[in-house]
Structure 1
Amino acid sequence: MRKDIDFSPVRNVHVVVACSEEGWKVFLINRDKNRLENVMVTSRGYGETKTETQKTSTLRHMIPYVDAGEYALIEPIDESVFHLNNEYWVSYFIDGQVYDKKFIFVPDSLIEENLVFIEELEMKGILHD
């Protein structure tokens, strides 16, 4: 059962929404010294306007591994969902130990004023840690 699993805290693993010439993309960056294995990322958007509840489809992404100091593309993201909560639930293994964390970009946080240079990607983005 879930309560019996030891979930160690996630450190040095980040989700980044970056702006490239091809558009906005979501990446997973591994700044840890260990290789991440069997990485599963679930993404979804949700929120409310004055008149309705909105939500996107839930997408699941499997990444076999992300080496130490490397990054992986999760998915492209459309600007039309920036007004929603954009949630990325990341799970992975290091040496047989499971790690799990939700990264949530709150509504309207994905704006140009919040962009910083992300060295690994060599582009500007919004880093969530």
Structure 2
Amino acid sequence: MKKDIEIPKVEGVYVAAVKVFNKDLNVDEWNAYIINDKDIDLEMVLIVSKGLSKDKKTAVMRHKLEKLPAKSFAKIEYLQDEVLALVNTFEVSFFEDNKMFDKSFVFKSNTINEKAYQPIPTMGVQGVLVK
């Protein structure tokens, strides 16, 4: 029975933490983004995010995008400096060609920093990427 269940592998979808300049507050801040590097639109994208450590945890945040077009990205949420020391998890579910996909993207504690910069697909910037 379990062997008959097909769990499709998620490819070409990423979560990235990118430091951007907030003109209104005149500060640099970290934001989490979902990236669709595929040539097909994603539909009904659901994202559940949370941060955890041994003795701390954040509130669970839920986000929904009706559609994430091919080769595009969308901001998920602002990441406060205090949560960068936590393990930050983004559970992402979406439909592609009427098939449901699901993947957990995890930033380990203290890995969101400028030393971990790498090129971010589709966005054309540097940041911290989870595949």
Q: Structure 1-normalised TM-score?
A: 0.89
Residue aligned with 2:56, SS: strand
Aligned to 1:27: 33
Q: Is the 8 A contact 2:88 2:108 kept in 1?
A: yes
Aligned to 2:26: none
Alpha-carbon offset, residue 112 of structure 1 = 1.1
**Percent of matched pairs sharing the same residue:** 30
From 91, 110, 113, the equivalent of 1:111 is 113
Letter in 2 for 1:72: A
Aligned to 2:79: 77
Alpha-carbon offset, residue 33 of structure 1 = 1.6
Q: 1 or 2 for the larger relative contact order (CA 8 Å, sep ≥6)? A: 1
Separation in 2 of the partners of 1:25 and 1:62?
16
**What stretches of structure 1 move > 6 A for 4+ residues in a row?**
none
Cα distance, 1:119–1:107 mapped onto 2, change above 3 Å: same
Q: How far does the alpha carbon of each residue in 1:7-56 deviate from its partner, in whole angstroms, 9 at most, with x for none?
A: 311000000000001211110110112110000000000011xxxx1100
Q: Is the 8 A contact 1:39 1:65 kept in 2?
A: yes
Q: How far does the alpha carbon of each residue in 1:67-100 deviate from its partner, in whole angstroms, 9 at most, with x for none?
A: 1101111111111111110000000001110000
Letter in 1 for 2:16: V
Structure 1: give runs of 5+ residues left out of the alignment: none
Please show how residues 53-72 of structure 1 align to structure 2 within 5 Å. Answer: 53-72=55-74
Separation in 1 of the partners of 2:57 and 2:112?
17
Alpha-carbon offset, residue 111 of structure 1 = 1.3
Q: Structure 2-normalised TM-score?
A: 0.87
From 45, 54, 64, the equivalent of 2:51 is 45
Structure 2: give runs of 5+ residues left out of the alignment: 23-28
What is the aligned length? 124
